[in-house]
Amino acid sequence: MLEVIYVVRHGYRSNWSVDPSTGHYNSTVPSPTGIVADPALASYGVKQARELGEHLKTLDPPVDLIYSSPFYRCLQTLKPFTDHLASTKESKPKINVERGVGEFYGLARFDHPQPATIEVLNEHFENLVESPTTIMPSTNGESIPQLHDRVAYALSHIISRADNDPSEPKSLLICTHAAAMIAIGRALTGRMPEDEGEEDFKCFTCSFSKFVRKPQSKFTRGVGSAAGEGWDPAKPEIVPDVGWRGKGVGGGWDCVVNGDCSFLEGGEERGWHFSGDESFLDDPNLFNDAANDAQAETEAKIGVTAVGSTANRDRDSRL
């Protein structure tokens, strides 16, 4: 039965922008998949991914299962670690590509970019397995509550599959995005704050979190993990409620490591949080990118290098 879930965020990525009035996405850096909002890691992000990979080698219990968002930057972040596993194990590690832990886009009147297909991703990465489609975000984006319910629904199926896996995996690793990383923490612990913008679960680039299953949930054997009606792809905006609030998915989990970056040379960088600001809802990632850039510029002017600061790097290394 699954006992531990590790969660990491992707490393520094290249940037993009979107016009919220037209839905036109733009990027100055070409994407490997040809999708504007699917950038590769910046060179600094590649360095972070290597540092994260070294940390993942030391985990106890070691990683048994791997899940990833289908976006390029997440799979690229995992590569140093999965390459290590492939070189040390007789069988190559499988990476389950899961749409349910993918990127968050705010509600819009237009269609947001979708991740690449498994066929396209297979041209860039090895040992990918398309996870059974449990849920995927609406192309028109999501509200913040919908995001949390989507992530909880995906987790309920991921945990249930692991609990019923004949190989009896004990641990699972998920590589995802900032918003989803926060939502995962809330869905596993069952704690949804009244203020969605509360900075409860940390999600710096290449940060690492660990969740341990509560003792009583070991006796539920999946009870509450995949409860409720199934998700209907014809109505993607309607997300089934798996009853996670106040309980936690799969019986509940304790967060024992929250967004650790101690193994990264640069420490905590490029944090992210929810906000009720209208500009946040138009483009959540741009809102946070702008806040991080403003902080870095302020620190540069006053000559301060604070925790999470990017003032000592040029802009190209951060995009």
Q: What is the pLDDT of residues 50-62, one digit of tens each?
A: 999 999 999 999 9
Residue 66 pLDDT > 80, yes or no?
yes
**Two structure tokens written together for 223:** 């009870």
Q: Which one has a higher pLDDT value, 311 or 265?
A: 265
Lookup result for tokens 């006796």: 219
- What are 100-146's pLDDT values in tens digits? 999 999 888 888 889 999 999 999 999 999 988 789 899 999 999 99
- Global confidence as pTM: 0.88
Read off the tokens for 268: 């905590």
* Stretch 63-69: mean pLDDT: 98
- H or E segment to which residue 176 belongs: strand 171-176
How confident is the model over 187-220, as pLDDT tens digits? Answer: 999 999 999 999 999 999 999 999 999 987 554 5
pLDDT at 191: 97
Cβ pair 148, 179 in contact under 8 A: no
Position 284 scores a pLDDT of 75
Residue 282 has a pLDDT of 65
In this prediction, residue 285 has a pLDDT band, given cuts at 50, 70 and 90, of confident
* Domains by residue range for the chain, with CATH: 4-284 (3.40.50.1240)
Strand partners, 18: 25
- Residue 318, pLDDT > 70, answer no
Q: Tell which residue, 122, 79, 82, 115, has the closest CA to residue 98.
A: 115
> What percentage of the chain exceeds 90 in pLDDT?
65
**Bridge-partner residues for 132, per DSSP?**
none
* pLDDT (tens digit per residue) in 29-43: 889 999 988 999 999
